[in-house]
Structure 1
Amino acid sequence: MMKFSRSVLCAAIAGLCVTSAFAAPKKPAAKAEAPKAVAVDTSPVTEIELVHSLGADKGAQLQKLVDRYNAGNNGPKIVIHDRAWNTGTLPHMMILGERDLAGFLSGPQRYRPLFQVMKDAGVKMETLRAPAMMTPTPLDAQKRLVALPVGLSTPVMFYNKDAFKEAGLDPENAPKTWQELQGALGKLVAAGQSCPYTTAQPAWVLVENMSAWHNEPVVTEGKKTSLAINGMLEVKHVAMLSSWYKARYLQLFGRDDEAVDHFAKGECAVLTAASGAWPTLQRQAGFKVGVATLPYHEDYYGAPQNTLADGPAMWVAAGKKPAEYKAVARFVDFWLSAESQVEWQRNAGYLPLNRSGLLASESRLLASDLANIHVGVQQLTHKPVTAVSKASAYPQRAVVRRIIEEELESVWEDRKPSKLALDTAVARSRTVD
């Protein structure tokens, strides 16, 4: 079992700091003429609405966190509603994943920056000076948090220990390279496994993170940003996966997290997916689940490098009352407490957000519960992030992600060879506005 290392953990989300207490904004000098009377909503604030797109299991863990907050809070209660953010009145807080962001961020600004909410409420916030491997989406140009990245994960490999044992594989030592994994998949097939390997979010795991893991660029930045996923590494990797797909070593179930459910049901032996899936798999799988680092190509010089941290963030709606923002700030402060951070890591599986969360989670009693955090941190900090291996918000754009997914599917369906598909993805990305 891995030892929880403080130095490794603190390096994972580098540069954590505690902001000084926020001073109350100065009141403007009174004008000579009294302002005209305006209608002000003075009704008391009793509820703060929170909606999310985390799914049923993660949503249940969020409810536990909210229930604990409400039990110890005399002010407005946090109420979770199961609805889309864009139906009806804009909720106070929204935990949105990649699929929701395009609509939410288009048009007029619908959010109030988180750092501003906390400052105006006079609430200290232990914040991230975001590391380069973390998605920059929740940040503004000055690297200030405009949303709270509550669902950060990095792709790792999960495997069915029982299936490994039945196939004559060591359940305590998972394959480290893609070459080793191919040999293990062959043994799983020989043992009768009909779905040796599957993956969630193929574009994110098999292209974006695989490139960063080998210090290869995902995007080309300049006057116009575009994809850069048609290098030799990506072409060879996708071609290898295509051969696996034809040989039934690899099965695919969709563009999102559908594969996680198939793995949890025991249908597949190996899964690459977000590290945050760990506690869900622990609760749902009827077998022993192992977690290991994402495989790498051992014949590629310098690999492995680092993977990327990404996931849903919590946005605060614009246009709410000051009392509502104060209530939101108190809830954010609660979520960032050491106790809540450990609870969130343990129950939801996501990476810690601040130093108190990192340090509090070092308990040896929680080591097995936080195995995914160990592996994720190990990957994120394996080597210092480079200009090539840093995260970019560009692949998260819905239109760009769809391009990658469509071209990968053209390879799986044998309509294009890997090089043509990836060349096409790059060319299509250059036409995106």
Structure 2
Amino acid sequence: MKKSSLKRMAAFLCAVACAGSFLLAGCSSSGGASSGGADSGESSSAPAASVDLTSGPEVDLTFWHSMGGTNAKALQTMIDEFNAKNKGHIKVTAQFQGNYDDAINKFKSAMVSKSGPDIFQSYELGTRYLIDSGFTDPMQNYIDRDKWDVKQIDANIAAYYTVNDKLYSMPFNSSTPLLYYNKDAFKAAGLDPEKPPKTLEEIISLAPKLTKKDASGNATQSAIGMWSYGWFLDESLNKMKKPSFDNGNGRTGAPTKVAFDSNGGGAAYLKAYHRLVESGAMPKYAIDADNARSAFVNGKVTMYVESTAVLASLLKAINGKFELGTAYFPGVDDKVSTGGVSIGGASLWMMK
């Protein structure tokens, strides 16, 4: 790609990422991997990189993303505003590629055939692949050249996408998993709605109070819906302060094998998850993402684990049917889960 195009791409990423850190919140999906689902907040007009955007012909940039729902509308608003300010010089066209898993699979195929995007939004799980792929251009090159102030990015978030002191992608929509719960159901069960459970074991112990059955003994209300997804395993390992892979979780060197199969973390999580189902705390249908969400919104389960990004869409779907509560992502138990979660969400990558 021509240097002028790269300069303008970098300017777009800096401008949109700064605004996005305020306007968009996180990742979510409607089935499968995360794809920015909902939450929106205040917008911010941040300065772009100090490059001349007015010289030369207009540059057209294709931007592949995975934002859905409210976040998709917010993203398009940001792009429209950027295009209007840079009319005749830069034009960014957003193209939705499905959830994060779908998008990165399309990306891999498209880049081989040289038909991929100029800018790509990818979840944190794609970081190592994108660094090693040879397709991407590190943001650090343009940050250093244009003396862009990285202090505008939260240091912890920037660190997540930094390897060997080099920021490879521009943090955009960051998130963590949350426990969402039905405060009205807690009150009805005689539980304190301001004291949600902190661990899976505690959820299992509370389940009998939160379970309702019909005359035939079938559960009409269960404790929790927590769909089966690798992100929750990864975050559970983080809370146990146990790595998922060797070589410092891939930071001191390329990972060569998983670590959770031998450090006790994987077994602890899977045993607790199995107990959720076998105890009746979680109905089997709720291990599916869409079913778990639907069950929570319709009062069939009283708790639901998802990204911070779905907050706005959940409130809209619930539409006042009950009071929504939020709490920290539950650990396995209070003995082993003494840490915190890591950053989720996605960042923006420049192609060479």
Q: TM-score, normalised by structure 2?
A: 0.64
Q: Partner of 1:112 in structure 2?
A: 137
Q: Partner of 1:95 in structure 2?
A: 121
SS at structure 2 position matched to 1:152 = strand
Residue 70 (structure 1) shift: 3.6
Residue 317 (structure 1) shift: 1.5
Mapped to 1, the partners of 2:158 and 2:208 lie a distance apart of: 35
Q: Partner of 2:275 in structure 1?
A: 243
Mapped to 2, the partners of 1:122 and 1:236 lie a distance apart of: 46
Q: How is 1:410-429 mapped onto 2 (pairs within 5 angstroms)?
A: none
How many residue pairs align between the two structures?
275
- Specify every segment of 5 or more residues in structure 1 that has no aligned partner in the other structure, as ranges: 1-20, 25-41, 319-433
1:244-283: CA deviation from partner (whole Å, max 9, x where unpaired): 2123322455677774455345443211222222223223
Does 1:281 find its partner at 2:308?
Answer: no
Q: How is 1:311-330 mapped onto 2 (pairs within 5 angstroms)?
A: 311-318=345-352
Q: Partner of 1:428 in structure 2?
A: none
Mapped to 2, the partners of 1:130 and 1:255 lie a distance apart of: 35
Q: Partner of 1:196 in structure 2?
A: 223
Contact 1:134-1:308 at 8 Å conserved across structures: no
1:363-406: CA deviation from partner (whole Å, max 9, x where unpaired): xxxxxxxxxxxxxxxxxxxxxxxxxxxxxxxxxxxxxxxxxxxx
Residue 44 (structure 1) shift: 1.6
Larger-Rg structure: 1
Q: How is 1:49-198 mapped onto 2 (pairs within 5 angstroms)?
A: 49-74=62-87, 75-83=89-97, 84-85=106-107, 87=110, 89-97=115-123, 107=133, 109-121=134-146, 123-126=148-151, 128=153, 130-131=155-156, 136=160, 138-142=161-165, 144-190=166-212, 193-198=220-225
Contact 2:64-2:94 at 8 Å conserved across structures: yes
| Cα separation, partners in 2 of 1:73 and 1:211, compared to 1, 3 Å | same
Mapped to 1, the partners of 2:50 and 2:86 lie a distance apart of: 24
Q: Partner of 1:214 in structure 2?
A: 240
| Cα separation, partners in 2 of 1:256 and 1:101, compared to 1, 3 Å | farther
Q: Partner of 2:259 in structure 1?
A: 228
Residue 158 (structure 1) shift: 0.9
Residue 147 (structure 1) shift: 0.6
- Specify every segment of 5 or more residues in structure 2 that has no aligned partner in the other structure, as ranges: 1-47, 98-105, 214-218
Q: TM-score, normalised by structure 1?
A: 0.53
Mapped to 2, the partners of 1:44 and 1:194 lie a distance apart of: 61
Residue 292 (structure 1) shift: 0.3
Mapped to 2, the partners of 1:252 and 1:211 lie a distance apart of: 24
Q: Give me the CA root mean square deviation.
A: 3.7
Residue 202 (structure 1) shift: 3.1
Letter in 2 for 1:245: V
1:176-227: CA deviation from partner (whole Å, max 9, x where unpaired): 233332233222213654443122453221x322222123343333886432
SS at structure 2 position matched to 1:311 = strand
1:81-106: CA deviation from partner (whole Å, max 9, x where unpaired): 23454547332211112676687566
